[in-house]
Structure 1
Amino acid sequence: MTFWADRPQTIAVIPDAFIFLTSGMNLALGLGYYYDPVSTHFLFSWFVGVIIGTLLSASLIQVLIKRYFVLLSSFLVVVAGILYTACPDDAIALLAARYINGIGTGLIIVPFIVHCSEISATPKRGFELGLEQLCTALGIFIQATYIALWNPENSFSPTRVHGIFCLGFGLGALGLAYLVIESPIFYIRHSNDAEALNSLTCLQLPTVLSDEKKLLLEEHKNYVLLNEYFDTGNSFLRGLAPLLRMTLYRAALAFSFSLPYNTQLYFATIMGLSGEGQWTSAVYTALRVLGVFTALSMVDMIGRKLIGLVGLLVMGGLGIGIAIIFAYISNWIHEDQMRLVCVLLMILQFFAGLYAPTTSVYLGEAFPLLMKPFFITFCICVECMVHIIVICTYTTDLHPMYVFNTFTYVFMFFCFLLFLFTIPETKFTTLNEAQERFRSWIQLKSW
């Protein structure tokens, strides 16, 4: 047996990984990790761009191959990187860069989830889909770390550093677009069995035609036939129940890394550690990366459901502690209480990292083929809308902090109880089997 026979499937999404690195950096930039003062419009503009990009990609994915999405998205990331680098002090140019990078992210995220779920071998599908959140977390870590440790005496603009990173990652994605291997299901839906078989041959080592790959082609054709047996209306109805659950499941991700929590960490560091730098941000985001790594190492063995539920439960529990401390303004100047907040928020990020990859995995498995891009788009748009609403309504004051913190942990516990009984375990299932499991409301098995 060839060592790591499925590695072409991982290599095929490397260009996407570079784009998601810039997505993580821009996500962090909009959620508190900036150096110079910025407007509220600047903070939420990237999320508006993501919504625009996902809406465009949902319709284009039916007719364009994946490589075109990679090329277009990476080109937009490069343009945004140039604007960040060349005009670090121009508010209009930076706002345009935020929108452009957001559109680039939106254009790639839906095709990535659809494409990756279709090209991945069943035993590795969780790992491959989870790479989106791994690269996003790494981008967050890069942005948060260099901003937190920035020397104020440095005359070089931190925004220009952001642009250089985006430019480099965008050029990397653009140059590696040739690595993309198209989905066999895309070709089957366009009645091109020869190209579908060629894709299957390239996706698994050794890259030679075999009876096993011919059998796999038949399985993919059956998957397409079973899904196309239902028209668009029936597919819509069959996907409504999974859509409701996955909208909440993905929306919870927006609360795990948010402007209020990042602001509270900054405040707690100043008050609890006597302003000894912002090294806590580097540890905070590094723990998120560690959590994602941990989840990816287990998601195809232990399963998606148990990992996601543990992440939600612990985040909800830690959220109670954070909410109670900030509910009393006397604690805001108490060093020990603020140090405790720093610790709680850091631990929360590790479990947020555990939870994050399962959202991408389930998005790739939950929906009927005909409606899949549109339902994924809806879930991503809701996630972005949550961020926009929080950014536009939150202020660092007693009442807004109390409302946000209380709502967050209540929402986490509600989602935990809901998903404990309604989210299926989908490890080692084909896409058809995963879809059928999502159609049922009651799902008690957690491993």
Structure 2
Amino acid sequence: MTFWEDRPQTIAVIPDAFIFLTSGMNLALSMGYYCNPVTSHFLFSWLVGVIIGALFSAYLVKVLIKRYFVLLSSFLVVVAGILYTACPYDNMALLAARYINGIATGLITVPFIVHCSEISATRKRGIELGLEQLCITLGVFIQATYISLWNAGNTFSPLRIHGIFCLGFGLGALGLAYLVIESPIFYIRRANDAQAMNSLTCLQLPTVLSDEKKLLLEEHKNYVMLNEYFGTSNSFLRGLAPLLRMTFYRAALAFSFSLPYNNQLYFVMYMGVGGQWTGPVSTALRFLGACTAVSMLDMIGRKIVGLMGLLVMGGIGIGIAVIFAYFSNWRQEDQMRLACVLLLIFQYFAGLYAPTTSVYLGEAFPMLMKPFLITFCICVECVVHIIVICTFKFDVHPIFVFNTFTYVLMFFCFLLFLITIPETKLTTLSEAQERFRLWINLKSW
């Protein structure tokens, strides 16, 4: 079976990709890419919506097929897009749109990670799961680009443009929901082997029954039987060690794209660089980093890519922290230009790191507890963002504290994951979960 013959697995997640594009645009709004002054409530409301949606989806993912999640999330994205477009100056309507889009994102993220990890061939699971962060970074780039090109004197609201994008992407996801192919594991857990075999047949070309697909069905059945043998309580205990590591792993993502760093980027733009190009270039580099990572995850592996991103972010973070630690540097153009370069490079390696978080979330946890543990990690990420948004003030001391904490965290995570995170390239889900159970994982290939 060649790589190209697995393309139905990619086609099956295209609707999710459209929803994640709107997620990226709304995340960018939370991280400072807007024109008019907004409240802290406006900034963190979308993140609260993500938490609400993720909590609901953790319970629903066991009873609803994936297509229902796509339809519901797409519908909510369309509703939010209509509110953005029709009421760009109504604060209550905008808050409602933010919450609704956040709920849509939370509703689709957990089912996407669970479903995608189950339908993907072992040789391309990294690419498929990495699409979540790849599309989010592309959405961030879209938001940052049109905001940077916006004329302040334009009477047409930029939030209306935001709504038009969300409306278009939501309708696209809604119209393409028929492409979704349900996970064979979903049907195996309901003792429906015929539907499971049909799913496997559709997920790999040619769409005919073959001995290879029969063997794959048996492999999936053994995976389900093994996890159901453990039971819920034992699965929870087996998932605690991976949960501890993955909580830090996903939380570090919140510090790689944050409101303080984007505020610093805006500041150096006005003090030392000039022009409006830093936002688009920064997000473009992040997207380029995500593209690079996705292309390497199934060849080089997840661990080396993720550790490389963490190590370089930690090193660059030291330089950023030192520059902003002294107020005298804030008025020197040369220092601000250097800070700008460091912030831009930082985003490339942040993009390199981001897709590995989705891949590991899809591989780390036992089947019975997987939706709940993934939800916990996503909620922690959102809570970190909310705390930073609500507590950060643009001044010398808060910036120094945030920058120092960020690079210390990156170095800590690098050392922790160098020893404890396994390499899961070309492994089955059962093999990946067994590797995550071990505390010491020195192998990096």
Q: Structure 2-normalised TM-score? A: 0.99
State how far apart, in whole Å, the 1-side matches of 2:119 and 2:128 are: 9
Report whether the alignment pairs 1:425 with 2:423.
yes
Report whether the alignment pairs 1:113 with 2:138.
no
State how far apart, in whole Å, the 1-side matches of 2:54 and 2:227 are: 23
Contact 1:126 1:300 survives alignment (8 Å): yes
Deviations 1:80-102 (A, max 9, x none): 00000000000000000000000
Q: Which residue identity lines up with residue 356 of structure 1 in the other structure?
A: A
- Partner residue of 1:407? 405
State how far apart, in whole Å, the 2-side matches of 1:373 and 1:83 are: 30
- Partner residue of 2:224? 224
- Partner residue of 2:292? 294
- 2:396 corresponds, among 375, 395, 398, to 398
State how far apart, in whole Å, the 1-side matches of 2:317 and 2:160 are: 35
In angstroms, what is the RMSD of aligned CA positions? 0.7
State how far apart, in whole Å, the 1-side matches of 2:54 and 2:229 are: 27
- Partner residue of 2:81? 81
State how far apart, in whole Å, the 1-side matches of 2:308 and 2:276 are: 29
Segment drifting more, 150-159 vs 19-28? 150-159
Report whether the alignment pairs 1:416 with 2:397.
no
Task: Return the offset for 1:3.
Answer: 7.1
State how far apart, in whole Å, the 2-side matches of 1:60 and 1:183 are: 15
State how far apart, in whole Å, the 1-side matches of 2:3 and 2:438 are: 38
Contact 1:148 1:277 survives alignment (8 Å): no
Alignment of 1:34-433 (within 5 A): 34-273=34-273, 276-433=274-431
Q: Which residue identity lines up with residue 128 of structure 1 in the other structure?
A: E
State how far apart, in whole Å, the 2-side matches of 1:119 and 1:2 are: 16
Q: Which residue identity lines up with residue 283 of structure 2 in the other structure?
A: T
State how far apart, in whole Å, the 2-side matches of 1:262 and 1:77 are: 26
Deviations 1:329-387 (A, max 9, x none): 00001101101111001000000011000000000000000000000000000000000
Deviations 1:110-166 (A, max 9, x none): 000000000000000000000001000000000011111211222211000000000
State how far apart, in whole Å, the 1-side matches of 2:387 and 2:234 are: 33
State how far apart, in whole Å, the 1-side matches of 2:340 and 2:204 are: 45
State how far apart, in whole Å, the 1-side matches of 2:149 and 2:256 are: 23
Contact 1:149 1:277 survives alignment (8 Å): no
Deviations 1:278-316 (A, max 9, x none): 211110000000000100111001000000000000000
Deviations 1:36-60 (A, max 9, x none): 1100000000000000000000000
State how far apart, in whole Å, the 2-side matches of 1:446 and 1:122 are: 18
Same amino acid, percent of matched pairs: 82
Deviations 1:182-210 (A, max 9, x none): 00000000111000000000000000111
State how far apart, in whole Å, the 2-side matches of 1:383 and 1:371 are: 19
Deviations 1:10-44 (A, max 9, x none): 00000000000000000000110011110000000
Query: What are structure 1's unaligned runs of at least 5 residues?
Result: none
Q: Structure 1-normalised TM-score? A: 0.99
Contact 1:24 1:137 survives alignment (8 Å): yes
State how far apart, in whole Å, the 1-side matches of 2:63 and 2:275 are: 51
- Partner residue of 1:18? 18
Query: What are structure 2's unaligned runs of at least 5 residues?
Result: none
Task: Return the offset for 1:2.
Answer: 6.6
Q: Tell me, what secondary structure is at the counterpart of 2:5? A: coil
State how far apart, in whole Å, the 2-side matches of 1:211 and 1:171 are: 39
Deviations 1:197-242 (A, max 9, x none): 0000000000011111111100000000010001110000000000
State how far apart, in whole Å, the 1-side matches of 2:190 and 2:281 are: 48
Contact 1:2 1:206 survives alignment (8 Å): no
Contact 1:83 1:163 survives alignment (8 Å): yes
State how far apart, in whole Å, the 2-side matches of 1:118 and 1:428 are: 14
The number of equivalent residue pairs is: 445
Q: Which residue identity lines up with residue 406 of structure 1 in the other structure?
A: T
Contact 1:2 1:205 survives alignment (8 Å): no
Segment drifting more, 49-58 vs 140-149? 140-149
State how far apart, in whole Å, the 2-side matches of 1:414 and 1:91 are: 41
State how far apart, in whole Å, the 1-side matches of 2:153 and 2:388 are: 33
